[in-house]
Chain A
Amino acid sequence: MSIFMTLRIAVKALNRNKMRTILTMLGMIIGVGAVITMVALGRGAQATIEEQVKSAGTNLININSGNFQSAGVRQGAGMATTLTAEDATSLRQVPGVQYVAAGVNSRGQVIAGNQNWSTQVQGTDVDLPAIRNWPTKFGTFFTPTDVNTAAKVAVLGTVVADTLFGPEVDPTGQIIRIRNQPFKVIGVMTSKGQGPFGQDQDDTIFTPYTTVQKKLQGIQHINNITVSSETADTAPVAEAIGASLRTRHKLLPGEPDDFMVRTQEEIASVRTETTRTMTTLLAAIAGVSLLVGGIGIMNIMLVSVTERTREIGLRLAIGARGKDVLLQFLVEAIVISLFGGLLGIGLGFGLSAALEKFLQWPTSIPPNAIGMAFGFAAATGVFFGFYPARKAAGLDPIEALRYE
């Protein structure tokens, strides 16, 4: 029997029990729809991360002070005091380095008028806006003179500016108090949104690092150095920085680094990995519903074979071979699963679009997911349709004809 005739007979048979066919199909529709939606969500999240990484600057290299060891007692990361402003300056000589900014972190209560806010105070250098590709909204960033004189000037993140002065108010020239010391606001950064670790990058205040060192912390060392490389190929630059710092810190071969060099790529890959795991997990859970849909097909096909025992007997008697009957039922199962798969892809698209529209969850459907879902649907049909079809093909024609 030609495949076209087989297909026609299958569609006809499925048409006879419309309700049953639709319900069976629903299993596949939901299964495939769920898989597509979950993959779309995962991919959307991944795309968001990539976006964030790009916004932070792909050629970014962070150097943090490492742990230090005093008489065998190891302190935690960032406790070492060996990183200095001179280290930062020296990095400008490392080939491939574009900009360098030394950084000192602090926190403090900030007061402006009758408002106050606890936020982080990041001491940094003049090149930070260039490194992070982060311009100011109002006013200007501080100048080398401010850094050299440890001037009490502050550039506010938008969250801090909004909290202290209200949204869209230019606070330039106002005086705020950080840890009870007066700072002059000289600028407000534009909004940068969430950082690669989910932290709010706008909830911060920038001051010259020298100011934090001398006026707020009373320390000589710095906590981190932010470097941008000339190209996006950051790995060799990061290596050169590491080597240079080891020489400067006079570390012997075999001695551990007292600093940590991380490229943006590494940071991104960690998060991408996490999201990928999440996506896989979600897709696997959605896959379970596909499995259940497949079992539904198998169940209904078994019922169908039993119901149509006499028909099978007749077909065998008038010359159908076992494989003709096998194909007939297999094609029925595949038609259910493929058609269900097709509708499921539609459902997946609809759900993804709805999630994006109503919940603002980013989604993105990779084109190969469609092919994959379709392939999975077909495979489910073949896998779960095979047993009932083989059962039908293996019927004894005499028994089948007598079946009541």
Chain B
Amino acid sequence: MPPVISVKNLAKTYVVGEVTVRALRGCDFDVEPGEFVAVTGPSGSGKSTLMHILGCLDRPTSGNYFLDGKDVSKMSKDDLAAVRNRKIGFVFQGFNLLSRTTALDNVELPLLYNGSLKLKTAERHKRAMDSLEAVGLGMRHHHYPNQLSGGQQQRVAIARALITQPSIILADEPTGNLDTRTSIEVMGIFQRLNIERGITIILITHEMDIAEYGTRLVRFRDGKIQVDQKIAKRRDAAEELAALPPPEPDLQNVVGDPVPAEHLGGVS
């Protein structure tokens, strides 16, 4: 099978005032379909820049990026938007759900920007429900983000990424705001999607133990790939979760302080 992502001599240079920042200094790498690539590296190593280019949010200064065999680096803005909508699903550290919008409506959002699909409202709802059920949140479709825990919010975000049936999911520090148990839960969902549906996943993290849920590790340093290797012993989130003590009672029914706004991670 041809690689789903193929990057050739990719470079990105930012000019900030009089300072020129070379975020990426020529990197080559291919991602085969069904891979689970964990990208790590210290801050400023270029992993976020790579992520933005892979996500078609940014274009490289030089070099080529082939997505499904098509050169994306030369596409127009509108074409890139269509690629983001149909081929790529995004999961962010801060969830980025629309507040005051139900989980269902949040998940549905990408479908609204898919002009060629022309889905009826009922059909959109059904697909959003399917997507929510795939992350185990079918029961909470009418909840608002501020009524959901961090893990649940991230699962809504994953459901949103899934709804257009993308071939790739790009996850930027998806467990950065979550505790250990929730992190494992979220990684479990990613692993399941990767194994059961064959979705290619590119995960950015700077936690080594999170990276080990993947099949391949890519480490960046100073805008270049320093390490690119198979993960010898892949962690299995489902097994680990089963081994953990049962979760604390559902926080929904416990009286406690409201979550401070800065931890909600919603988009106002």
Contact = CB atoms under 8 A, between A and B. Distances in A.
A324 interface: yes
B78 interface: yes
Given A5-B112, A324-B113, A307 B58 contact: no
Given A319-B82, A398-B52, A307 B114 contact: no
A321 to B, nearest CB: 4
A310 B77 contact: no
Interface string A365-404: 0000000000000000000000000000000011001000
A314 interface: yes
B109 interface: yes
A398 B23 CA distance: 15
Among A5, A16, A307, A314, the most chain B Cβ lie within 10 Å of the Cβ of A314
B81 A398 contact: no
A311 B113 CA distance: 14
Contacts of B98: 311, 314
A246 to B, nearest CB: 78
Contacts of B52: 398
Contacts of A323: 78
A317 B100 contact: no
Given A307-B268, A310-B267, A320-B81, A315 B113 contact: yes
Classify chain A: how many residues form its interface, as a range: 20 to 34
Given A311-B98, A314-B98, A398-B57, A321 B113 contact: yes
Contacts of B267: 308, 310-311, 314
Contact of B57 (A5, A322, A397): A397
Nearest to A4: B121
A319 B114 contact: yes
A321 B80 CA distance: 9
B268 A319 contact: no
B110 A319 contact: yes
Contact of B85 (A5, A16, A318, A398): A318
Contacts of B214: none
A322 B77 contact: yes
A321 B77 contact: yes
A317 B78 contact: no
A314 B96 contact: yes
Classify chain B: how many residues form its interface, as a range: 20 to 34
Contacts of A5: 112
A314 B266 CA distance: 11
A11 to B, nearest CB: 13
A317 B84 contact: yes
B268 A308 contact: yes
Nearest to B58: A398
B160 A318 contact: yes
A116 B248 CA distance: 106
Contacts of B81: 316, 319-322
A94 interface: no
A243 interface: no
Nearest to B163: A318
A311 B97 CA distance: 8
Contacts of A315: 109, 113
A16 B78 contact: no
Contact of B110 (A310, A318, A398, A401): A318
Contacts of B268: 307-308, 310-311
A169 interface: no
A77 interface: no
Interface in B62-102: 77-78, 81-82, 84-86, 90, 92, 96, 98, 100
B115 interface: yes
Contacts of A310: 96, 267-268
A318 B77 contact: no
Interface string A34-72: 000000000000000000000000000000000000000
Interface in A335-390: none
Contacts of A398: 52, 57-58
B107 to A, nearest CB: 11
Given A310-B267, A321-B78, A401 B96 contact: yes
Contact of A1 (B57, B84, B113): B113
B55 interface: yes
25 contacts: A1-B112, A1-B115, A308-B267, A308-B268, A310-B96, A310-B268, A311-B268, A314-B98, A315-B109, A316-B81, A317-B55, A317-B57, A318-B110, A319-B82, A319-B110, A319-B164, A320-B85, A320-B113, A321-B77, A321-B82, A322-B77, A322-B78, A322-B81, A398-B57, A401-B92
Given A317-B55, A318-B90, 15 more contacts: A5-B112, A311-B267, A313-B96, A314-B96, A316-B84, A317-B84, A318-B110, A318-B113, A319-B86, A319-B110, A319-B113, A320-B85, A321-B77, A398-B52, A398-B58
Interface of B: 52, 55, 57-58, 77-78, 81-82, 84-86, 90, 92, 96, 98, 100, 109-110, 112-115, 160, 164, 267-268
